[in-house]
């Protein structure tokens, strides 16, 4: 399975009042060097439709990322999902 990359038509952060643009994202999970702990579980979650969660780099609100879109989450909802690493936004490529 390929590493997750996506184009979101609705590219603004889904958290109220933020609007940070997250249009094209290549999550580049392979760059973490942890295939069993990061790459494989997150790639599997991406392609099976579960997706994953992490905070917006601008507003720090939780976001659920899936192949179909992004949605705002509260912390309890986010805890139930696979998690991107804290520094995901410094590793991912954006356009």
Beta strands in the chain (DSSP E): 5-7, 24-26, 52-55, 62-65, 70-73, 93-94
Cite the DSSP H helix spans in 11-87: 40-47, 75-79
Cα–Cα distance between 79 and 6 in angstroms, integer? Answer: 23
Closest of 66, 64, 65 to residue 74, by C-alpha: 64
pTM for the predicted model, two decimal places: 0.96
Which secondary structure element, helix H or strand E, spans residue 76, and what is its range? Answer: helix 75-79
Sequence spans of domains, the chain = 5-94
Q: What is the pLDDT of residues 19-65, one digit of tens each?
A: 999 999 999 999 999 999 999 999 999 999 999 999 999 999 999 99
């Amino acid at each position: 399975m390929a590493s997750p990359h996506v184009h979101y038509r609705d590219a603004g952060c889904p958290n109220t009042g933020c609007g940070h643009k997250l249009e094209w994202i290549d999550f580049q999970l392979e760059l973490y060097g942890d295939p069993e702990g990061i790459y494989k579980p997150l790639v599997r979650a991406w392609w099976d439709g579960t997706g994953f969660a992490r905070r917006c780099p601008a507003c720090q609100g939780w976001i659920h990322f899936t192949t179909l879109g992004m949605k705002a989450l509260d912390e309890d909802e986010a805890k139930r999902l696979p998690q991107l690493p804290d520094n995901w936004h410094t590793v991912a490529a954006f356009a």
